[in-house]
Amino acid sequence: MKLEMHTHTAEGSPCARILAREVVKAYSQTDYDGIVITNHFDNDLLKDFGSTDRERMERYLLGYDTAYEAGRECGLTVILGIEIRLEPYAEDFLIYGADREFLFAHPNLCFFTQQELYELCHENGALLYQAHPFRPPCSPQNPAYLDGVEFNQRPNGNNHNDLLEKWICDHPDLKRVSGSDFHVMDNLGFGGIILEQQVKDSGELADYLKHHKPHLIIEGKESS
Ligand SMILES: [Zn+2]
Ligand SMILES: [Zn+2]
């Protein structure tokens, strides 16, 4: 199964240009079998998403929900993920394995510490990866509270994956993931992973990542 691990939609991430239905249509015309929607979970965005926690979470999920429906219609698997920024820092983290109930139960995740977020993810069967750890102004965060790191494949993304490759040598227990960081059509299909079985939701994806080492798609090519 070929799975895009880092996708934004215009409904959930104002920096993204493409609406969920168009994102799903575009990926359904490639050889990807599925996409993980990882819209930005930032307090700066969420505070304008509604006046109650429930409203904010429903608004946050709009891109995923729309993509999920579109995926059902055309046969593309659509999985919920989260790209979260913890206040007051600049780093982004990817959560794989969270479901809708996780978000409604924890609408204030942005105010957690990295350690608190990591522990909460594990209590809920989810995994925490740092997104593009060497993209300025980001720097790699405490590996004790990470499951892995992302080799971000966004073209011209200033990702410095060469530095990440050196850094991870000192932290061989960290897992690796790849994603395109899709915001516009020019970002389509440069990253992701190859799984040896099908997964259909965030729980199955997290279980797979816990027990397997997926092949990474690097610059559109499969590597191990
Ligand atoms: Zn963005
Ligand atoms: Zn992103």
Over the stretch 133-150, which tens digit does the pLDDT of each residue have? 999 999 999 999 999 999
Does residue 181 come out as left (phi exceeding 0), alpha (psi in the -120 to 50 range) or beta? left
Domain count, the chain: 1
Model pLDDT, residue 224: 58
Q: Could you say which ligand is closest to the alpha carbon of residue 92?
A: 2
Model pLDDT, residue 220: 78
Q: What separation in Å is there between the alpha carbon of 52 and the centre of ligand 2? A: 25
Q: Is the N-terminal amide bond of 88 cis, ω within 30° of 0?
A: yes
Beta strand segments in the chain, E? 2-7, 34-37, 40-41, 77-85, 92-96, 127-130, 148-152, 175-179, 192-194, 215-218, 221-223
Q: Which residue has the tokens 């997926």?
A: 214
Q: Could you say which ligand is closest to the alpha carbon of residue 191?
A: 2
Q: What separation in Å is there between the alpha carbon of 83 and the centre of ligand 1? A: 9
Tokens representing 172 are 């061989």
Q: What separation in Å is there between the alpha carbon of 166 and the centre of ligand 2? A: 22
214 φ, ψ to 5°?
Answer: -70, 155
Residues 6+ apart with CB under 8 A from 169: none
Q: At CA 154, angle to CA 151 and CA 221, rounded to 5? A: 65
Query: For residues 195 and 1, is the Cβ–Cβ distance under 8 A?
Result: yes
Model pLDDT, residue 219: 84
Q: Could you say which ligand is closest to the alpha carbon of residue 184?
A: 1
Q: 190-206: per-residue pLDDT in tens?
A: 999 999 999 999 999 99
**Residues of the chain below pLDDT 70:** 224
Domain coverage including residue 65: 2-223
Model pLDDT, residue 69: 98
What is the C-alpha to C-alpha distance for residues 167 and 133, in angstroms, rounded to an integer? 10
Q: What separation in Å is there between the alpha carbon of 71 and the centre of ligand 1? A: 22
- Give the other-Cβ count within 10 Å of 163's Cβ: 12
What is the C-alpha to C-alpha distance for residues 210 and 57, in angstroms, rounded to an integer? 27
What is the C-alpha to C-alpha distance for residues 66 and 136, in angstroms, rounded to an integer? 32
Q: Give the CATH number for residue 170.
A: 3.20.20.140
Q: Could you say which ligand is closest to the alpha carbon of residue 7?
A: 2
**DSSP annotation of 182:** B
